[in-house]
Structure 1
Amino acid sequence: MKTMKMIGTLVVVSLMFMVACDKDTDPADRDLFVGTYEGTITFNGGGETIIDDDGKVTVTKVGSSYSFIFGSGIPDITGVRFEEGDDNVYVSIGDGLTGIRITASSLDIGVTNDEGTWTADCSR
């Protein structure tokens, strides 16, 4: 009985390892970008300018779209979709939301739309 339990555990662990190492898994599907990035963030819009050299941007994902939750009183950017560029760099697509480049370790934002202008030079 003890041997069967041990074999069963080994099979489960082996299957988990094989699934985790699947080369066909798109990095964006594994939520690599979700988390907090830190660095310089700015916003200019509505008659105000906010600059934070020690700012934070938290990236969340619901379905296939991302949200960028800023600290420091900067308005959030929501509903962002991405397409894969070179070397696992993803770039934002869509009206008024272009100008975001993200990897597992860096976030660069240069978005301008009717609401204002956001910039970020962050890493984690």
Structure 2
Amino acid sequence: MKNAIKVLSLFLIITMVMIACKKDKDPATTDFFVGTYKGSVSYNKDGTTITSSDGKITVSKVGETYNFFFGNNIPDVTGVKFEKSGDNTYISIGSGVTGITINASTLKMLVSKDGATWTADCTR
């Protein structure tokens, strides 16, 4: 009987720990869109245009802002803040960096800043 109580107690403790560890988190707090997206990218400034149908953008988070690192000699877009728009989709906010929509599987970008324009239509 003592062994049965010990086993049952252990089972209850393990169950409680598992339930306590499972939390419904906002995707923004879990950085669900940090990673690499691939697809069409372009950059244009002062008549110089760089385009690639096989481009790559790596998204990273530093504090409250996100950074978009391009390949193909395209300058990076950094210091972007987001707000939630719908179910697990986020749009960029702030001066000069509006025009980015991102979720766990797609990244769409049309950003104009300091006379330059970045575009992206990527997935992962």
**TM-score, structure 2 normalization:** 0.84
Are 1:15 and 2:11 an aligned pair?
no
Give distance in 1, aligned partners of 2:123 and 2:23.
Answer: 27
Deviations 1:11-45 (A, max 9, x none): 3x8635643x422x211110101100000000001
Q: Structure 1 residues 26, 50: closer, same or farther in 2, change over 3 A? A: same
5 Å-filtered alignment, 1:45-124, equals: 45-124=45-124
Q: Structure 2: how far apart are the matches of 1:33 and 1:119?
A: 18
Counterpart-to-counterpart distance in 2, 1:110 and 1:52 = 15
Which consecutive segments of 4 or more residues in structure 1 shift more than 6 A?
none
Query: Partners in 1 of 2:31 and 2:79 — Cα distance?
Result: 15
Aligned with 2:121: secondary structure? strand
Work out which of the two has the higher radius of gyration on C-alpha atoms and give 1 or 2.
2
| CA 48–26 in structure 1, closer or farther in 2 if over 3 Å, else same | same
CA distance in 2, matches of 1:17, 1:71: 42
Count of aligned pairs between the two proteins: 116
Given residue 103 of structure 1, which amino acid in structure 2 is its aligned partner? N
Counterpart AA for 2:123: S
CA distance in 2, matches of 1:76, 1:17: 41
TM-score, with length taken from structure 1:
0.84
Q: Percent identity?
A: 50
> Aligned in 2, Cα 1:95/1:17: closer, same or farther, shift over 3 Å?
same
SS of 1:15's equivalent? helix
User: Any gaps of 5 or more consecutive residues in structure 1?
Assistant: none
Gap runs ≥5 in structure 2: 1-5
